[in-house]
Amino acid sequence: MKTVGTYQAKTHFSKLLERVEKGERITITRHGVPIARLVPPERTAALTAEDAVAELRGLRKECTLGGLPLKSAIEEGRRH
């Protein structure tokens, strides 16, 4: 695992992200003390279209407007 200081991390952030994207793990330090870690995200299996639709339908059942008509919610959002 590579270690870089905060100044170097700030200066070369995009290059560090490229390295992390390739699988490298990088620790960022301040005065030699680790304060953060850049790690690639965990790889998850891609959803099939059917799975995505099923998840959206489940989400739709959970999220409601509490009886408020959709048109009223949109208008309220535009006022704020």
pLDDT tens per residue, range 12-42? 999 999 999 999 999 999 999 999 999 998 8
**pTM: predicted TM-score of the whole model, two decimal places:** 0.53
Residues spanned by the domain of 21: 2-38
CATH number at residue 16: 3.40.1620
The model's pLDDT over 50-60, given as tens digits with 9 standing for 90+, comes to: 888 888 888 87
Q: Does a structural domain hold residue 43?
A: no
Q: Which of 35, 36, 25, 28 is nearest to 5 (CA)?
A: 28
How many Cβ atoms are within 10 Å of 13's Cβ, its own excluded? Answer: 13
Alpha-carbon distance of 15 to 49, in angstroms, equals 34
- The backbone region for 26, taken as left when phi is positive above 0, alpha when psi lies in -120 to 50, beta otherwise, is beta
